Structure formats: C-alpha cells, structure tokens
Structure 1
Amino acid sequence: MLVDTGLQESPRHVCHHRQSEGGCADCKVRPISVCSVLTLPELEELESLSQHLVLEKGHALFGQDEPAGYVYNVIEGALRLTRLLPDGRRQVMGFALPGDFLGLALQDRFSVSAEALTSLKTCRFERRAFTGLVQAKPHLLRSLHDRAGYELTLAQDQMLLLGRRTAEEKVASFLLSLRERYARTGRTSVTLELPMGRQDMADHLGLTIETVSRMLTRLDRQHAVLLVPGGVRLLDLAKLESLSAN
C-alpha cells in the first residue's frame, strides 16, 4: 500500500496514511461499493493502488476546478458537494455517504468541491492507475456503469425535487431519500442522522433556511417526525411518503 505524502502540508487537508485492519476484503462498505464485484486476488491488486486517508470535519477533500487526479471511495462519514455559481451563490449539489465513489466523471477538473461534514475516512486511488485497472477488468467497468446509473437516478430525482413541489414536499422527499441511502449501508434506524446543517439542506433544496426550519417544525407538529439532536426520528412513513409522491 502506498504512503500518503503530500496532503498533510495542504492547509485544506488534514489527512494521513491509515493502514486498513483487514484490507479491502474486510472493508465494511465493500458490499455496496463498485469493488464488490472483485475477487479476493483482484481486491489485493486494488488495495496495492490505494491510500487510506482521514479527513477532519470542515476540511475539503478536493476543490472545484482542481485537477481531477484521484478518485475516492467513501468509507465512513459524509461529504457536502457544492458548486460556486458565477454570481457568487453556493449550490449544494448533493451529499456523499459511505460506499459512494467520487471523481469518476470524465472531466479533467472537479466540477464541485467536496467538504467533510463529519470525520471522514476514504480510499484514494490515482486516477490513471484506477482507469488502467478498470480497463483490464470488464466486470469492474460494468459495476461503474451501474453506479453511474444510480447517480443519474439521484440527479433526476433532484431535478424533480427542485421543480414544481412545495417546500413541505421537498423536505419530506429529502428525508425519505436520505433514509433509503442509509438503508443501502445497513443503517435502518428510525432515527435519521442529519450530518448536514439546515443551511445545507436549504441550499440543496432551493429553499431558505427559515423555510426548511419551518417545514421541519410543521412535520414535527403533525407527528410525522420528531426533531432530536443531530437528526430526526421518522414517526409516520406513510405521511412522508404521501407528501413525497405528490
């Protein structure tokens, strides 16, 4: 495994090499990641290309318009993906969770910034080396295509979310979507962790922070959710699904 040597000196990164306990074969996000299709020998080959990085909350994994020289697999934590618009406004494009791959687009530079919302663990792969591995393994390429299809579905859902829905419908849909994404990682608790702040939610949903707060309070008063420190408890899924389907 390679040793990470440059990121510690960057003022935006607080990363260091972290040897995995059991290697890629024992990675807890492997079943939901693109590397799930690889055999044990292939996983050893993949691990030889990887760097295990730790990033502190509030620091950037990469910035918008930076050269896209690496791809990343999120192991633990959450990231906020943002794009700075020409007029200076910030758009939150989405949130990366365990199992998500970042940097797979064909552009030479990152189109978004990725900032840690929590303590973060990620595998980093030099993009050219990872591309070479993918080209040699068609089943890995198919897995990447499946991942791209999943991300396209999320993007389409986001377009619908920003369309003709009311503020209450947007917030309900966001909570259910996050619940579904957590379920993919095996997290099925009725208490939904919200590592992103309400301003992040507002910038993602095309609302103001005041509106997001008001809609969460309304859902709480309707007993659809219960606001708790760090998240919400989903009390009435039928109510939320009814709102989300409109």
Structure 2
Amino acid sequence: MASFNKYRAGGSFRLADIKPGATPFKEGSRSEQLAQLDALALQLDVLQNLLHAEGSRKLLLVLQGMDTSGKDGTIRWVFSRTSPLGVRVAAFKAPSLDELAHDYLWRCHAVVPRSGEIMVWNRSHYEDVLVTAVEGWIDKKELQRRYAQINDFERLLSETGTVIVKCMLHISKDVQRARLQERIDTPGKHWKFALGDLDARKKWDDYQNAYEKALGATSTRHAPWYVIPSDSKTHRNLMVARLLIKTLQDMKLKEPPADPGLKGLIVE
C-alpha cells in the first residue's frame, strides 16, 4: 500500500511534484475498486459509531480544490454508508452580508464539529487566503497575518479535542476543461455550471501558486494538508476514505465502560 507521507504538505513542498493523474492507491479493476470503496465506507461507519460512543473527540475533514475537483462527489461516495446522524456537511459559498460584517473566521467557528461527530467542510476558511490573494483583495502582509491566524484557530480546535484532516483535491487543467465542458453539454448538469468558473480558470497558474503557498504555510503537525491526486474520481474517493480510516484508527477510539447495572439484567 502506498504511503500518505509523500502526499503530505510541509518542508520543501512543491505542488508540481504531485501529479494529478497519479493513482498510488489503485488496486485491481474499476469494479474491484468500487467494491473496495464500499467496504471502506462500511468500515468508516463502524469507526464513526465508535467516535460517537466515545463522545469526547471530533473529526474535521476539510476539502479544498479547484472547480470540478470533486468535493461533492467525494462526500457522496466516501460517506455513502455512514449514518447521517454522525456526519454533518457545511458548504462555504461567497460570504453573505452578515458574514462579511464579522471577521472571516466567524462563520467557520459556527460549524465546527460537536463531540462524537465527523464534520466535513466543502471549501472552508482557506477561501480567504486563496480567492482573496489571487483577486488582489488582500496584500502580502495581510496574507501572512491570515496564515498565522488560521494556524492559531486550528491549534485551538486541536487542543480542544478536534482531529483535523485537510485534503486538497488536485486535478489537471485538461481534466477540468473536460469536466466543465461536460456540464455545458449535459442539460442535467447545467445547474452545476457558473460563468464565474471560467474566470477562475483563466487564473489557473495563479491559483496553483496560491495553493502551494497556503498549503506550505498551514500544514502543521496538528492540522496536516494532504494533496489527493484527483484526475481519477475513483482513486480520489479511495484515497480519502483510506486516509480517514487511518486517522480514526490512529485515534484508538474506545467504547465507554458499560453501566454496572446492566450485569445480569433480564428484559421481561
């Protein structure tokens, strides 16, 4: 099995060193991979039940990526067998007027995971060091300040019982072109397409540079970044599922002790 270490940002990290079309966690045919994914989804459900039963810690999964990288699809497939009672999803869109009236982390803190819960962020506070930097809405001094604030925010979460995993879904420009064109050519997918997606695509290199800088500045011991090669949707889902399972296994979750009053109890 491939190691996650190669895909963890940090040190002399370069995004270009990770190929979007790589499939290091691929095993067998596509049908075999889909069967593996279903088995992993069931395993994830068991681990989530343990997390809920233990009731003291939380897991936050952050998903970032360019348009069409598959954030929605990852959530749909990886958590396909998990109880909706134990998993919540928050989608971060353009901030509302109310959100803009607060600091940029305000809306994030409102949706952190509760004890015993897995929380998934579809986009996140990283929009405020990616979009804002590429569009020139903040200067370099403010960008560095936000990196530090984000690290402090994530350390707060970690020190209060939240395990954080951050995944950048890494696709190639060619694959994005094909996926955007499919949305245009398929009437049932028109709702997924926005003309603004093309504006962001024109700044592809700027966004790749912004991602590299952000991941390098905010991948920490308590909140690591992993780059997930995502040209293959199936591989993307398998890799994220395996990463989450490894993370939960490393937490060494335990069921709470049974109530002594249950010993010998007979239900009549």
TM-score, normalized by the shorter chain, greater than 0.5: no
Larger radius of gyration: 2
Task: Please classify the TM superposition score into its range, dividing by the shorter chain length.
Answer: under 0.3
> Which structure's relative contact order is higher, taking Cα pairs within 8 Å and 6+ residues apart?
2
Q: Which one has the bigger strand percentage?
A: 1
TM-score relative to the length of structure 2: 0.25
